[in-house]
Homo-oligomer: A and B are copies of this chain.
Amino acid sequence: MKRRENGGSTANALLGLLTLKPMSGYDIRALTERSIGHFWSESYGQIYPGLRLLEKEGLVEKMTKQSAGRPEKNVFSLTRDGRERLKAWLDLPPVHEVPRSELLLKLFFGHHAPEGANLRHIEAVRDAHQQGVEIYKTMERRLKLEEAGDPQLPYWLMTLSFGRHRSQALVDWANESLDQLRVLEKKKKSAKK
């Protein structure tokens, strides 16, 4: 039995993804980017060894698939044990960790920054999250059409809504902060003269 100190988020993410359909490591990587990419990421260095561990524990099953003119593919699917393990994990309260933000770290020391740096950084996040809001909205519309009727749809939409709320909050914050910064920088300039 392998110890998993952190609750095995990665392992369970793999199990979760395999509920969608049987997949290879390669498939999983591609899918994560399109589906849960805005709040989760997995790299090959995690996925391939992870799948092997899960197989050893009997939580997933490997089947080798041959397709015409394609490399061989190792397709994994959930076992009954795997499904149960996932369910048990979903029941546990998610561990919350304080996200590290380099932006805020820099802003906290903003008084020592070269002129204009703070403004530039915040403008960048405002632009990024303004785009973010639009992206979330179009994704929500698309999902509602494409996956209509799927019992999982409401949950997927909630994660998108989360992203939209967060991005919108950051846009609002950025605009407020930019106003204040502009006043500050003006004061600094006039004080210098």
Contacts and interface: CB of A to CB of B under 8 A. Distances in A.
Interface of A: 7, 9, 12-13, 16, 19, 35-41, 83, 86-87, 89-91, 93-96, 98-114, 117-118, 120-121, 124-125, 128, 151-152, 154-156, 158-159, 161-162, 165-166, 168-170, 172-173, 176-177, 180-181, 184
Nearest to A173: B165
- Determine the main DSSP class of A at the interface with B: helix
A152 B109 CA distance: 8
A39 B108 CA distance: 10
Given A41-B100, A94-B101, A165-B169, 15 more contacts: A7-B102, A35-B108, A36-B104, A39-B105, A40-B100, A94-B102, A108-B155, A110-B152, A111-B155, A154-B180, A154-B181, A158-B177, A161-B173, A165-B172, A166-B173
The 9 closest A-B pairs by CB, nearest first: A169-B169, A110-B155, A99-B99, A94-B102, A90-B113, A16-B109, A165-B173, A39-B104, A94-B103
Given A165-B170, A165-B173, A113 B87 contact: yes
B39 A152 contact: no
B91 A114 contact: yes
A103 B96 contact: yes
Contacts of A159: 104, 107-108
Nearest to A35: B108
A40 B110 CA distance: 15
A161 B90 CA distance: 32
A83 B86 CA distance: 50
Nearest to A16: B109
10 contacts: A13-B105, A37-B98, A40-B98, A40-B105, A41-B100, A90-B109, A91-B113, A94-B106, A96-B103, A111-B152
